[in-house]
Structure 1
Amino acid sequence: MGEQRVALVTGGAVGIGAGISERLAADGFEVIVTGRRAGVAAEMAERIGGRSLAFDVSDHAATVAAIQGAGRIDVLVNNAGWDHFDWFTDLPYETMRKLVAINLEGVLSCTQAALPSMQEHRWGRVITIGSEAGRIGSKGNAVYAACKAAAVGFSMSIARENARFGITANVVAPGPIETPLLREMTPHAIEVVTNQTQMKRLGTPEECAAAVSYLASEAAGYVTGEVLAVSGGMHLGG
């Protein structure tokens, strides 16, 4: 790969993010692991030989300052997210705002902060972790699904705007993945989402990380504006 490239993974210390951080480090990237909890991010960074940053993606000013202060960024993985299950009519406005701030506004802030470095070096990858909820909807998860759908439209636009700089922008859309967050759901809810996949099983963080690894690679230089589902065929229905 020549000069070592730098990948920044938001929420990169737990769940899907941890799998992505580990995989990109194994691929030869210098990985910057970010998270709200400095100690957790630092522990992961030390384990994979990378760096860490602590900030909350819902804080625009702190996010921009941290990413711009990190130096060169070649690959941005917008992974940080937060979920809350409730019927939309029962959802408090404060919770709605938090969902939007983390799952959508955080993607906008991180991308706006990282793009100038990629444009300067005329190479880059913006990879956003979406969700099948953004394509097929999700009962009790309307605002989260709306944010993930918006992230797809945003990524398509970034792909159009930045192709001239050699930058690609793509989305990885996981289905139900075996993570601590998923295990907070009831056994019945887990069974329901598992049965919505064609493979009738949960995915793994490593399977999501493999998709990110490809999109971050030189081999994916002609792939942009795409949504790559890692969901066991969840979007197929039936």
Structure 2
Amino acid sequence: MRLKGKVAIITGGANGIGLAACERFAEEGAAVVMADFDEAAGKEQEVLFREKGYEITFCQVDVVDRESVAQLVEKTIELYGKIDILINNAGITRDATLLKMEQEDFQRVLDVNLTGVFNCTQAVVPHMVAAGAGKIINTSSVSGVYGNFGQTNYAATKAAVVGMTKTWAKEFGRKGINVNAVAPGFTATAMVQKMPEKVIKQMESAVSLQRLGKPEDIANAYLFLASGESDYVHGHVLHVDGGITM
């Protein structure tokens, strides 16, 4: 097991990519704290995972609220005494073209996707520094690297996540902490699967592999970067997009 004895916090863990990551990490022996704002989904998934014998604990968190994040970190330390891995996976979309985008929607996406990553990382890093080791994986997006129509707010946050990742890599590498990012492409989450079939087909046709990614594809990338196999990978943005940018 690649993560035996490790403790991981995964934000946005109750749905989609985060949910797949929780299961994948637990399969590899990690104790997982599934952090999510959606309490109903989180508690339901915790029960299902526990029935499978996985060490997964749900903790409700609002990543925008620093006190809520502090309580998440405190609970994790109380349960396990350490934090080895942080996956900053929580994120939202509020899409619209620039001329139609509401200020409230612009700001809300920045709050969750950018400030939330800052809050969680700042709360967790002191424990990793004290231990002299840790893995931080931030979720960017191909939208943050190349832009995407109707996603001014989302693309801005995901580009900023890349900048923060590279900055934190410079700051914390000397402390024994690896900091990397994953940039998913179009992924078949529940949100995407609700789109019209015509739109999904257009998305698939833009990908070299001619299919959408699966949540498990992204979870496997998280797993690699969280494991000892990536100990010399640092400050990197791993594209998991099926060749969409080729």
Q: TM-score, normalised by structure 2?
A: 0.92
Q: Which residue of 2 aligns with 1:77?
A: 87
Moved over 3 A (4+): none
Q: Which residue of 1 aligns with 2:226?
A: 216
138 and 2 in structure 1: CA distance in 2 versus 1, 3 angstrom threshold: closer
Q: Which residue of 2 aligns with 1:39?
A: 40
SS in 2 for 1:197: coil
* Structure 1 Cα separation of the partners of residues 152 and 87 of structure 2: 24
Alignment root-mean-square deviation, CA: 1.5
Q: Report how many aligned residue pairs link the two structures.
A: 236
Of 58, 61, 71, which residue of structure 1 is paired with 2:64? 58
Deviation readout 1:50-69 (Å, 9 max, x if unpaired): 11110111222322332234
73-82 or 57-66, which deviates more: 57-66
Q: Report how far residue 13 of structure 1 moved.
A: 1.4
Conserved 8 A contact 2:165-2:180:
yes
Q: Give unpaired runs (5+ residues) of structure 1.
A: none
Q: Report how far residue 45 of structure 1 moved.
A: 2.9
Identity of aligned residues (%): 34
Q: Which residue of 1 aligns with 2:126?
A: 116
Which amino acid letter does the alignment assign opposite residue 6 of structure 1? V
Conserved 8 A contact 1:35-1:54:
yes
* Structure 2 Cα separation of the partners of residues 67 and 209 of structure 1: 22
Q: TM-score, normalised by structure 1?
A: 0.94
Conserved 8 A contact 1:128-1:172:
yes
3 and 196 in structure 1: CA distance in 2 versus 1, 3 angstrom threshold: closer
Q: Give unpaired runs (5+ residues) of structure 2.
A: none
Deviation readout 1:68-120 (Å, 9 max, x if unpaired): 34212110001111012211111110111101001111111011111111111
Conserved 8 A contact 1:7-1:77:
yes
51 and 2 in structure 1: CA distance in 2 versus 1, 3 angstrom threshold: closer
